[in-house]
Amino acid sequence: MAEKGTGTDAVEVPVLIVGGGGCGLAASVFCSDHGVGHLLVERHAGTSAIPKAHYHNQRTMEILRQHGLYEAVAEQAAPVESFAKVRWLTSLAGDRPLDGRMIHEMDGFGGGVLRERYAAAGPVLPARLPQSRLEPILRRHAERRNPGRVLFGRELAGLTDEGGRVVATVRDTATGATTEVTARYVIAADGGRTLGPALGVEMRGRPALRRITTVYFAADLSPWWREGAHMTHFLNPYDPGLFSNLFEMGPTWGKRCEEWVMHFHLPPDEAAGPDEDAIVSRIREVLGLPDLDPELLGVTSWTVQGLLADGYRRGRVLFAGDAAHRQPPTVGLGLNSGVQDAHNLAWKLAAVLSGRAPDGLLDSYEAERRPVGAHNIDWALSAAAHNQAILGAIGLGATTPPERRERMFAAYFDPSPLGAAERARAAEMFATARGGYQAHDLEIGFAYEDGAVGPDGVPPPAREPLRDVYRPTTRPGHRLPHAWLDHGGRRLSTHDLAGPGCGFALLTGPAGSPWCEAAAQVAEKFSIPISTARIGDGAEYADVDGRWAAVRQMSDEGAVLVRPDNHVAWRCTDGSEDPSGVLADALSRVLHHDHAPR
């Protein structure tokens, strides 16, 4: 894209992506893999210097694996065994009677006792990597797959939707030179800063729950650090204002971790922004380390919100990530949801832009992702409130009167039978926090009830109220259950059968040859790739441990149609007298051919 002085040049692309954070960069990679030509513009000169999001749940890691990003991320990320615990401590150290005490710990985020369940549910496990280290990986891959069209230091200066196309003005922030960009569609991954307000998209919900200060610092905590924690909550027995959370940020994980993030609530008199000395003092007080000499790497204050866009689409502009939903960090759903938005959208843009589907298919993006976004916001708000309620119920929260606070903590740690009873009661209450720290079903069990799916009339499976138990199902709209297969000596996941390289996939039982033959005819009719796989005894794909047979929910003659994003599009639990006609009708509905303008 040439730029000359302060004049205006022009470029035409199928898709313009506005925003080069985690969501926008992921969208770029996914679009490239699906053959969608695009231009990405980001107003900042580089990727984020602040760690921000750092937990990448199982669904996100599966998506990164599908797009060849898993190894690069896993190489730097903390493996699940290194963040198996959620802990509540009084402090790391100190010489007072209640300093350095463990209040409670529980397994979370796929670690500890949860690991076996998570490992059975997917081909990869969750990982931890701060956004400041994830984004450079995404940017490197985005630039490699779309050379010369991932542009940082470019801001959106104006946009007009002309019905059949969008015309944008993009400005070079260093030179002021402008470029006119014409695109068929725009992905707004700008955090809601520009396009949403310009197009009248309203973010509705709870805009200002509380103010948080995040401190990014370097320090050697190895003499005091308890390894294996995803997060550590500090509840100070003497000063409730020191309530804080601490997270490892690598690049070395565990006892030798070099960098950290601490979240804390600012007192009202410091809300304008504490000075460096005040921040260092607070870190020392929280940790109980008065002689610690931390190096401040970054400080930011932000508002906890629970907001959902009133629409995910305005004409030819589609909103993703923080431009569509903003939730508290509880449960770690923010960036994960944004990556999953982009994953849902990329294959649909590819189908529409190639002429294989009408524009109406893109309406399914909002129909599918907005209910998930709404539920994620509600869940994060509920989990955050519940975590505070637990502390209040056991008398260790910030609402405990100062004159009782130290006494309540002392009673909790009392070695007598009464103290043991206090801790046992508290443990029962802490266990209910699994809705925030063990929410496996929330992470991978969500389903699309309306959109690019063909319902089969079967009601959704029952879900555990706290979303801590995932139950695999091939019901349309759900994520395809993972199972390990053997194909000619090569180990594959069922997830490997669909994706940008192979399009849709039709998975059948060992007697599903008629469906496979039908898939070839239907693929030709719609000019859309459909790979096929017969799975089971005597079939070309072996069900290595019997898991597929346990979760497929169909007979040997049945079939499951899987979308490129690994969600089930349609299924038939048995054979058919007209497999080609039935499958063609199903794919037509999934691709919204019945919604095409006449």
pLDDT of residue 272: 55
Mean pLDDT of 129-143: 98
Mean pLDDT of 288-305: 94
Residue 269 has pLDDT above 70, yes or no: no
Residue 213 has pLDDT above 50, yes or no: yes
**Measured between alpha carbons, how far is 9 from 11 in angstroms, rounded to an integer?**
7
Residue 2 has pLDDT above 50, yes or no: no
Residue 289 has pLDDT above 70, yes or no: yes
Mean pLDDT of 56-75: 98
What percent of the chain is predicted at pLDDT more than 70? 96
**Measured between alpha carbons, how far is 381 from 209 in angstroms, rounded to an integer?**
10
Mean pLDDT of 155-178: 96
pLDDT of residue 302: 87
Residue 6 has pLDDT above 60, yes or no: no
What is the DSSP-derived secondary structure letter of residue 330? G
CATH number of 8-77+128-204+309-368: 3.40.630.30, 3.30.43.10, 3.40.50.620, 3.50.50.60? 3.50.50.60
Residue 405 has pLDDT above 50, yes or no: yes
Residue 531 has pLDDT above 70, yes or no: yes
pLDDT of residue 469: 97
pTM of the model: 0.95
Residue 598 has pLDDT above 60, yes or no: no
Residue 341 has pLDDT above 90, yes or no: yes
Cβ 377 vs Cβ 325: under 8 Å: yes
**Measured between alpha carbons, how far is 347 from 584 in angstroms, rounded to an integer?**
19
What is the residue-averaged pLDDT of the chain? Answer: 94
Cβ 536 vs Cβ 471: under 8 Å: no
**What is each CA distance from 102 to 236, 246, 271, in whole angstroms?**
11, 14, 30
Task: Give the confidence band of 594 by pLDDT, cuts at 50, 70, 90.
Answer: confident
Domain ranges of the chain: 8-77+128-204+309-368, 449-595
**Measured between alpha carbons, how far is 264 from 270 in angstroms, rounded to an integer?**
12
Q: Which amino acid is at 245?
A: N
Which sign, positive or negative, has the C-alpha torsion 532, 538, 544, 549? positive
Residue 306 has pLDDT above 50, yes or no: yes
Q: Which amino acid is at 213?
A: T
Task: Give the confidence band of 500 by pLDDT, cuts at 50, 70, 90.
Answer: very high
Q: What is the DSSP string of 370-394?
A: HHHHHHHHHHHHHHHHHHHHHHHHT
- Within the chain, what is the greatest distance between any pair of CA atoms? 80
Mean pLDDT of 19-24: 98
Residue 281 has pLDDT above 90, yes or no: yes
pLDDT of residue 595: 56
Please give the CATH number for the structural domain made up of 449-595.
3.40.30.120
Domains 8-77+128-204+309-368 and 449-595 alike in fold: no
